[in-house]
Structure formats: structure tokens, C-alpha cells
Structure 1
Amino acid sequence: MLSYQHAYHAGNMADVHKHALLASALDYMVQKPKPLSYIETHSGRGLYDLGGTEALKTGEAAAGIGKVAGRFAPDHPYLRALAHVRATGGATAYPGSPLIAEALLRPEDRITLAEMHPGEVQVLRRSVTRADVREIDGEQLAISITPPEPRRGLLMIDPSYELKDEFVRMPKLLMQLHRKWPVGVLILWYPVLASGAHDPLVRALADLESMGDKALHHQVRFPPARPGHGMIGSGMVVINPPWGLTDAAAEVARVIG
């Protein structure tokens, strides 16, 4: 798992799906005058360079945010976060979800981030200046910190899925956290793979249908970023989705096309 480097994939179509929905959720949540907690289990480095060697090598950013950025409404919170980061990081800077959260949250909101890769942690601490960054297993952090203080908040689960058992463990973690923190907005991202490796995760989440409007399961499909690339879509599961997120998901699906 520590071999995964998101710099090769930053800004791809899955990031567009993931980050646009995250931004929409946070944008709604900060409209209420109550502080909130933001927790992330697999944070990465927080800041990426789409003009860097890694991004240019795969071309995934060009096939992702580079292709569809102009299809979003100019005031979409995802584009606002992107503009905020690029104002200081330059035109090719791209925010991971920790920086999207920092761009949209308020000073009174609390950010706690977990990341296991030592090199990524160092960059993350420089990139997200007002977060509690912990070099710790994200699953352990999530279990130990929930319910957080403030109790109102959002938790993002976004592993690399390099370990195949993550497709089994992550839905179990999601439901365990929901039992511990029933009022929390809990988000789980997963890749849709041509191999079908994600199918056990989807089957494990079948019980979400009984939760009605208290759960949102949204998938988008898109062409492989390059010949032979196995990811053909992106999935997001949201427990306790903020108001309007279903409409926001439909808009992201339109943008991705």
C-alpha cells in the first residue's frame, strides 16, 4: 500500500467525480453557523502538480479535469477550491481532498488527516497548514476519533485499493463508523474496474437501499484514460448526504458525460 503514488493519477476523471461531490457536500455544510469536523483516512500529499513528470507520463489529468473543467458552472464549489489553490500554487496546481476541504472550510472547523506514507506526510504537512496531520493507519484513526468533537462533520474514506481485501474491509469500516457516529456524513469512494474487482464492495453495500434518502450510492462511467487502463468508472457512497447532494451528483454525471 505504501507504494501507491497518487501524483500519477491526480486530476483524473475519478478525482473529478470524487472532489466535485465532496466540494458540494462541504459547501452546503458550512452554510450553517455551527463548527464541524473533517476527517480523512487516506489523505495523500494534498497538493499535486499536473505539469509534473508523473501527471504528464500517464495523461490522466488531461483526460480528466483538463477535459471537463469548463463544463462546470463557474461558481461550482469544486472550481472555487481549485481557483483558491491555484492562486498560490500556480496554474498547474491541483488540490487533493484535504486541500479542497481546507479551501472550503472555516477557521472554526477542525481538520484531522491520516496518511501512512512518510514522504507523502511531509508534503501534506506543508500543503495543509491548519490540519492535524497524523502518520497513522487511517482505519485506526477513524475508529479511535469517532464520534469527533465537534460532532457535526464529514469523514472521507479514499484508499488506493492496491490491497484487494480493501474491497471487503472498506464497506465494513463504513458501517462500523456509522454505528459509532450515526449523525456523521460518511463518504466512501471506490474505483469501478473492468476486472470486476469492485463487485464485492458493491454487493456488501446492498443493505444501504433500506436506508432510503439517508444514503446515496452514485456511479459514473468513463473511457479508460489510456489503452489497457483498468479503471472505467468511479463510485461514491454517502451516508447522511447533505441536502441537494443527489442533484449535485446528477450534475457531475452530466459534466463527465
Structure 2
Amino acid sequence: MSWHLGRLCGFDLETTGVDVEQDRIVTACVVQCGGNAPVQSATWLADPGIDIPEGAAKVHGITTEHARAEGRPAAEVVEQVVTALVQVANHGIPIVAMNAAYDLTLLEREAERHGVTGLFASAVPLVVDPRVLDKRVDQYRRGGRKLEDLCRTYGVRLDGAHSADADAIAACRVAWRIARQHPEIGKASLDELHEAQVGWAREQAEGLAAHFRNTPGKESWADGVRTEWPLIPAPRAGGDA
């Protein structure tokens, strides 16, 4: 059976910012769907332990005051999210995450920060990234490549964008549509697809870095483009990653 016809696990974080080395989890969702079984969704609100910048709060709607009043301890949330993902990974269910290298890397850094054994040390997750897939199958399409853009492109309804639960289920639906429309994606085994995405993500990142180097005023941005997927290695002590 094609992977997209079986069970999928959507994963999404909303965070304090976009730096995987410094920022923290605010909300998280792990949702299982598909495979002719009921949807199972778990969501978390964390007190990240630091102030949530106003810009981030405007995106996901969670203020520092809200998180401190109603959020659970960050270490507890991180441990439970990792446990949920390990369970699905050990059952061979793919983890579907939009821009997976960001969410999975930030989760890994949070696990290290709080003394939790990380996902990649506990399981061998197979990951499906709609962003990587979309750039592979429709490389030259104009316009944005955010989740909202992909939902419009593939006819997926997105209710409550930038809430972790809405984004997680939407990512699964986009991945399903891509797999259905492109047999080379849908018919690949999960192992083959995961390994292919490692290469595709690297090529896509290298292309973006080249674009920055050739764009006046953006040359320095190329240095911040990471090519690793789905996990960015931790920086070495006293040096760069």
C-alpha cells in the first residue's frame, strides 16, 4: 500500500522565534490521521521560560502572560512531545512536518536543554516534508512556499493558520495531495522517500544560497542557509556546526 494511504503523523510547533539554537517551544501538536482510522490529536501549551517576543505572539496568538498562566513546564512538554513522536516512529508511521528541519531541530535542542533523551536518539523517524516535496515536483512555480501557499495550491482547507494543531493536520493533507498527484512520490517506499528528501533538501538549500550570493544586498544571507535535513547538527563547542 502506498505510504500516503496509511497512517500519517502531523507534527508542528509554534515558538518564540526562528532561531533553533536560542528559541523555545510555545505550543506543539502531534496528530495521527488517515489510514481509515479516527483522528487522534494531542496538543500542548508550554511556559517556555523566557519572554515571548511581541512579533511571535502576533503570529500564534500566545503572549508571555498567557503562557505563564496556563502553560505547563517546558521540560514536561518536551518529554511528552518526544515520547509521542517516538511511539509513532517505532510503529513505522511517517512524521509529516512542514519545514521539518526547523521543528525537529528545535525540539532536539529543547530536549538537550531539559535533559530529555531526544527523538533521534530514541528512534529512527521517517520524515515527510511537504515543503521539500513541493519544491521538488513544482520547482519553478512563482509565489510563496509557506504552508498557507501550499494549501491554496493543492486545494487544502486551512482553518486557524499558525496554530500548531491546524498546521499539523494541514501539512498531512498537503503531503497526501502531492503524493496523489505525483506517483513518483506516492509510490516510493518511506525509506526511499526519506533518503531522497535528504538530497532534495540539500540541493534546494544550495540553490537558495546561490540566489542570495547573486542578489545585491543579500549576499551575507547565504552564510545562514543550512543544507542539512531533517536535523541540523548541534554546533560544536567553540566552533560552528
Per the normalisation by structure 1, the TM-score is 0.30
Q: Which has the higher strand share?
A: 1
Per the normalisation by structure 2, the TM-score is 0.31
Higher relative contact order (CA 8 A, sep 6+): 1
Q: Which has the higher helix share?
A: 2
Which protein has the larger Cα radius of gyration, Structure 1 or Structure 2? 2
